[in-house]
Structure 1
């Protein structure tokens, strides 16, 4: 199974290359990435130019990449040291774009609250991406000192989710 970092690297390499379609299969997991070809991109730009003469605001043209996975393991969150007066505070950041959930289900308690002690394998939240619920592990040992994102909010890759005091 690919790790999130490996998947990000594959996406980056394909995005920078001239490859328009990529499929990877391993142990029952399939990942497919497709991007528009140059001619399709040129046609959409040409259509946009024609369309802008008829409409006051042109539509936004976006390149889309499709990533399909069948089974997703627990994800490990990235951590980064925050530049503050207290060098023991570390942020747990989102390893992907998605919707942030503090609880495994609406009627359950939150995975962590301010003051909870965590270790490397502690699950701190779920990030839903493409209808898949990814449990995020802390990757550090310490105490939660601040929750930076509200339940159900959209999060970006690298966005801080929690502040943790490490010692």
Structure 2
């Protein structure tokens, strides 16, 4: 299907008053939607044989300061409890793993004492497994991320008690 045929199809659909038309042929899939705000039809053109590309993870929307304040007011004791701990954060975006492989033991567990330079986890990014090492010595208080979960840059991973 060439560009001229697609343009004629768009004009035909716009005149017909249909709100949506889907057309699938051997190597082409076309969806035409009308009735948008500017009254111009929206066209989606996708070759069927083309591989689908993975989308990047969408960052969560941050709360507005007004909405975040009541949550802080409700849990002042919890904030004081974690203030004495050091938070180890993700240096990269990727998938968080607590084990070097599925059949191996965890790198660290809650209650375990760690030293500076100990491997805490791995984060897979683009098929590369990056070992995340501790920058502090102390005791693991809490693991903040589930195994095999996606993590963002600067996302908290562990709480460590440095004392």
TM-score (structure 1 length as normaliser): 0.51
- RMSD, aligned CA: 2.5
**TM superposition shift of 1:53:** 3.9
Q: Distance in 2 between matches of 1:126 and 1:154?
A: 12
Q: Residue in 2 aligned with 1:54?
A: 41
Deviation digits for residues 101-121 of structure 1, max 9, x if unmatched?
000000111100000101111
Which structure 2 residue ranges, 5 or more long, are not aligned? Answer: 1-38, 45-55, 57-78
Which of 92, 100, 103 lines up with 1:104 in the alignment?
100
Deviation at residue 91 of structure 1 after TM alignment: 0.6
1:17-166 equivalent positions in 2, closer than 5 A: 53-55=40-42, 84-85=80-81, 87-166=83-162
Matched length? 93
- Once the two structures are superposed, residues 15-36 of structure 1 have per-residue CA deviations (whole angstroms, 9 ceiling, x without a partner) of xxxxxxxxxxxxxxxxxxxxxx
- Deviation (angstroms), 1:84: 2.9
| Structure 1, unpaired ranges of 5+ | 1-51, 58-63, 65-82
Q: Which has the larger radius of gyration?
A: 2
